[in-house]
Structure 1
Amino acid sequence: MILKIIKTTHKFCLISILIFCFPQTRTESAIREPIINVLILKDQKIRIRSDRSIPLSISGQRFSNKKIKGLTLKKQNNRTTLIFDKNKQKIFDLKNEEKFVVRSSDRRGIWVGQKRYAGKLNIFIRDNDIMVVNVLGIEKYLGSVVGSEMPAKWPLEALKAQAIASRTYALKQKGNPLYDIDSTNNNQVYIGLEAGTYKTKRAVDSTRSLVLTYKNKLINSLFHSSSAGMTENSQDVWKNKYPYLSSVKDFDKNNPKLRWNKKFSNSQLKKLFPRIGGIKKIEILNVTSTGRVKNVKIHGDFGTDQISGVDIRKRMNLKSTLVRFKFIEDNETKSSDEIPKLLSTNSSGNESLTHIVRVGDTLIVIADQYDVSVEEIVALNKIKNSSIINIGQRLLVPRNSLTSSSSEKILVVSGYGSGHGVGMSQWGAKYMANKGQKANAILKHFYKGVEIKPFKKYFL
């Protein structure tokens, strides 16, 4: 009898320990995962609805866990209104600074416009816009970010490198009043649940909580699509110098974003630069060590202006600042998709100059020296790989035959790479992963002197 009581007591204690331990582990795990607040929409009219039959709930100053199918918010003529799907005749007038929270128990998420999101939604009414902020755990968020920023079919190690870089970047932004980060390429792209796949979730799960640190602080883990051979120093793009964001070799030669052209008509330039009456001439005042434009002087009909490479890229919506500018004749017989014939192109080698490649020469540097385009040199010399030229190599360079022709000119911008060029190159990460490099090695190549550790609050 005594033995039976002892066994029963022992069994009861064991069950009590199991009940006590497992819920605590789950709770501690939930507490450890940071929450991220993501601005997903800012507009004058917003539609939010449930997925199928499971209702949403809305809470706020005037609603207390009200069950709804969907709602529409609209700002028009200094009036902000809200209507619910079930009673569209009743219109609620909303005040500035009002806030609502929309939740769902449905794993399929909440529809905001044409996209679905996990977690809950904070809705803010502001003077000019209605703002929707998605609130969710960082790991759930990253499952979509990795698929939004990088094709899910890419190598797993590249996706893992992206997961660690994106986690670090997002956590570095925490602490703003209404939201931590937005969902566009102003920060990092986040398009909701549709972007998440088994492979992107695997990349996130296998790197759970890992972040990049420098001297025990989160780094500013910037990344971009393609740098065209060399990444850029942070101080050559922005004012701040970060030791871990220094120029390194990139491995992005075989990618569709390596070379591109964009052309502008005279009327387009006048709209973009109305104060000086368009652009008649562009002077590149200085470039970085990798050839990216730092500052330019633009000449228009009404004067001149000086602008940074970063600003002109934004104004003209260019893919990068690794660019050169050329005015050419507008050939109306060509389709809009073709590159017009350059004024300085010569078909005969006898009319060309000869350049001997020196140390530090690139095709961009040579083209700039002779005031011609890279495409002209490539075509004239039948160069197959424009990223490879050898010291001592003889290159034919077309003579610049710009004339005072009265025909209208258009501006062609010849560029390389995509993005600001600082930090991790996504195409470079793909190449390294394909060559067998692990995520840690990829990250430590692009971010100098960093460590990869599980996230701690004191890293902020």
Structure 2
Amino acid sequence: MILKIIKNTHNFCLISILIFCFSQNRALSASKEPNISVLILKDKKIRIRSDRSIPLTIKGQRFSNKKIKGLTLKKQNNRTTLIFDKNKQKIYDLKNKEKFLVSSSDRRGIWVGQKRYAGKLNIFISDNYILVVNVLGIEKYLASVVGSEMPAKWPLEALKAQAIASRTYALKQKGNPLYDIDSTNMNQVYIGLEAGTHKTKRAVNSTRSLVLTYENKLINALFHSSSAGMTENSQDVWKNKYPYLSSVKDFDKNNPKLRWNQKFSQSQLQKLFPRIGGINKIEILNVTSTGRVKNVRIHGDFGTDQISGVDIRKKMNLKSTLVRFKFVEDNEFKSLNHTPKLLSTNGLENEPLTHIVRVGETLIVIADQYDVSVEEIVALNNIKDSSIIKIGQRLLVPRNPLNSSSSPAKILVVSGFGSGHGVGMSQWGAKHMANQGAKAKTILKHFYKGVEIKPFKKYFL
């Protein structure tokens, strides 16, 4: 009996020690969790308030742990002011480069405008804007990011793949002076506590601290929505070549972003490309191995320009660079059940165009560009010697009647495939693979070639 009691006591002590060690390890793990600084707002008027009755604490050079319910910051006419909710008659004038911290003990977070955020808020006063930077543990941050970047109803393994990719991407950005990362799709989307769900938290917790590495360094874990069949090599989109960001097969055929059309009226094109007088012709100069546009030459009423696929996507706000261009007549476009806005006529359809002579251009080149004859340009400009024109010279160019606005208005239709830059993990591809039974690690190792998945260490940075 005594032996039995001793044995039970020994087992109890052993279990207690194991529980204690496990608790200590968890506490140690939590204490080692890296923080991330996220720019969540950059504006000239900002409203911050507590969730309910628990007050906020503001701390800075002129505020020493002051308890408040809320505050309003405003930048107007070279003046930045701060007003607290409880005493709106007292106005504080803030200086440029002034900063302070807002925190709360409330688990429901802090309201910034219409969104709630966990952690603390660093407020910076810059020359032109007020910046709000959310500082919090990366795991809490990720629960929102995963829900912001992917629908929470998607398969758990896809959400886990997103969590590992997003954790890697965020940690790779650390080290900037004011903040590490932006909260928009310039980096990765983060909309605060509202986006976190039980499922996204589960995806984050079950992959806690796991990151993607290549040769023991964090990778640039880029991802996008849909590549339309094949992801892209990093060097074909940007200058840098990363061996782990090479083109692979995608599995994103059944998704609503696979095919799309975007239309542009002549007036829209003139606003987007005023220097060359809009666009009346687009030549694709070269494409990548997956068919994405690398460079185009655009022709307008005042000349031509060469632009990269990345830049024209940004300029025209296109979903991807896997595009083709076509000009169609307004009525032809309407027949496709579209209703583009008609171009207004201003009575100038018979007036000549103006062309600025550029390096290397001759009258023959200019005439060919506008589809008119050299003789018409010579006569219109009273040119005595057609072999002599100067760089920067203004020439009047007659409008080609076949291309004048008296004919049906031309609409530029951009037919595109996929969404995003096409590099790295395809989110719709990850969803399909997860639906087919693939685990998160299999998904990640498909889209990022030659990587390893390990718990984060500081020397990975």
TM-score after normalising by structure 1: 0.81
Structure 1 residue matching 2:321: 3-state secondary structure = coil
- 2:74 is the counterpart of 1:74: yes
Query: What one-letter code is carried by the residue in structure 2 that aligns with 1:94?
Result: L
Q: Decide whether aligned partners of structure 1 residues 414 and 331 sit closer, same or farther in structure 2, where only a CA change above 3 A counts.
A: same
Q: Which residue of 2 is the match for residue 437 of structure 1?
A: 438
1:109-258 matches, cutoff 5 A: 109-258=109-258
Q: Partner letter of residue 338 of structure 1?
A: H
Distance 1:18 1:283 in 2: 69
Cα deviation for residue 331 of structure 1 reads 2.3
After TM superposition, the structure 1 = structure 2 runs for residues 357-396 of structure 1, keeping only pairs within 5 Å, are: none
Q: Residue 424 of structure 1: CA displacement?
A: 0.2
Deviation at 1:407, TM superposition (A): 1.8
Aligned to 2:100: 100
Unpaired segments ≥5 residues, structure 1: 1-9, 341-401
Q: Deviations over 1:394-452 (max 9, x none)?
A: xxxxxxxx988822101000000000000000000000000000000000000000000
Cα offset, 1:338, TM superposition: 1.9
Offset, 1:333: 9.2
- Aligned partner of 2:29: which letter? S
Q: How many angstroms apart in 1 are the aligned matches of 2:140 and 2:45?
A: 27
Counterpart of 1:430 in 2: which secondary structure? helix
Contact 2:333 2:411 in 1 (8 A): no
C-alpha separation in 1, matches of 2:291 and 2:25: 53
SS state at 2:443 partner: helix
Q: Give the Cα–Cα distance (whole angstroms) in 2 for the partners of residues 423 and 67 of structure 1.
A: 46
Is 1:293 the counterpart of 2:281? The answer is: no
* Alpha-carbon shift at residue 339 of structure 1 (Å): 7.2
The alignment status of 1:453 with 2:454, answered yes or no, reads yes
Secondary structure at 1:331's aligned position in 2? helix
Aligned to 1:312: 312
For the residue of structure 2 that corresponds to 1:148, the secondary structure is helix
Q: Identity over the aligned pairs, expressed in percent?
A: 88
**Aligned equivalents of 1:408, 1:238: Cα separation in 2:** 36
| In structure 1, C-alpha distance between the alignment counterparts of 2:20 and 2:78, rounded to whole Å | 55
Please report how far the alpha carbon of residue 32 of structure 1 lies from its aligned counterpart in structure 2 after TM superposition.
1.5
2: CA distance, partners of 1:88 / 1:205: 43
Tell me the residue number matched to 1:423. 424
- Give, in whole Å, the separation in 1 of the partners of 2:427 and 2:19: 46
- Tell me how far apart the structure 2 counterparts of residues 333 and 119 of structure 1 sit (CA, whole Å): 51
Tell me which amino acid in the other structure corresponds to 1:88.
K
In the other structure, the counterpart of 1:347 is none
Contact residue 226 and residue 418 of structure 2 kept, 8 A = yes
Change (3 A) 1:23 1:87: farther
Report the equivalent of 1:263: 263
Residue in 2 that maps onto 1:349: none
Instruction: Supply the AA of the counterpart residue of 1:86.
Output: K
Matches of 1:228 and 1:70, distance apart in 2: 47
Alpha-carbon distance between aligned partners in 1 of 2:29 and 2:252, rounded to the nearest angstrom: 39
Distance change (3 Å), C-alpha of 1:100 and 1:253: same
Could you say if the C-alpha distance between residues 216 and 265 of structure 1 is closer, same or farther in structure 2, counting changes exceeding 3 Å? Answer: same
> Structure 2 vs 1, CA of residues 337 and 107 (structure 1 numbering), >3 Å: closer, same or farther?
farther
In 2: Cα distance, 1:336 partner to 1:63 partner: 63
- What per-residue deviation string (whole Å, max 9, x for no partner) do you get for residues 377-396 of structure 1? xxxxxxxxxxxxxxxxxxxx
Residue type of the partner of 2:420? G
CA 1:83–1:408: 2 relative to 1, 3 Å: same
Whether 1:411 and 2:412 are equivalent positions in the alignment is yes
* Pair 1:29–1:72, CA change in 2 (3 A): same
Which ranges of structure 2 fall in alignment gaps of 5 or more residues?
1-9, 341-401
Report deviation, 1:31.
2.9
Q: 1:279 to 1:87 in 2, by over 3 A?
A: same
2-side partners of 1:17 and 1:416: how far apart? 58
Call closer, same or farther: CA 1:406–1:201 in 2, change over 3 Å: same
Separation in structure 1 between the aligned mates of residue 136 and residue 328 of structure 2, nearest angstrom: 51
* Contact 2:331–2:408 (8 Å) recurs in 1: no
What is the Cα deviation at residue 251 of structure 1? 0.3
Work out the CA distance in 1 between the residues paired with 2:284 and 2:104. Answer: 54
Count how many residue pairs are aligned between Structure 1 and Structure 2: 387
Task: Pick which of 44-53 and 17-26 moved more.
Answer: 17-26
Residues 306-343 of structure 1, C-alpha deviation per residue, up to 9 Å, x if partnerless?
11000000000000000000001012994997278xxx
- Aligned residue runs from structure 1 range 7-18, under 5 A: none
Cα 1:161–1:23 change in 2 (3 A) is closer
Deviations 1:114-145 (A, max 9, x none): 00000000000000100000000000000000
Contact 2:327 2:410 survives alignment (8 Å)? yes
Distance 1:200 1:19, change over 3 A: closer
1-side partners of 2:195 and 2:267: how far apart?
Answer: 39
Paired amino acid for 1:440 = K
Which residue identity lines up with residue 438 of structure 2 in the other structure?
A: Q
Q: CA RMSD for the aligned pairs? A: 2.3
Structure exhibiting the larger radius of gyration computed from Cα positions:
2
Change (3 A) 1:19 1:142: closer
Amino acid at match of 2:39: L
Q: Which residue of 1 aligns with 2:379?
A: none
CA contact 2:227–2:418 (8 Å) conserved in 1: yes
Query: Aligned partners of 2:214 and 2:254: how far apart in 1?
Result: 31
Q: Secondary structure at the match of 2:151?
A: coil
Question: What are the superposed Cα offsets for residues 261-299 of structure 1, whole Å, 9 maximum, x if unpaired?
Answer: 000000000111111111011110100000000001111
Give distance in 2, aligned partners of 1:115 and 1:78. Answer: 27
Structure 1 residue 27 displacement after superposition:
4.8
The 8 Å contact of residues 38 and 181 in structure 2, kept in 1 or not, is answered as yes
Q: Which residue of 2 aligns with 1:36?
A: 36
Q: Distance in 2 between matches of 1:229 and 1:28?
A: 44
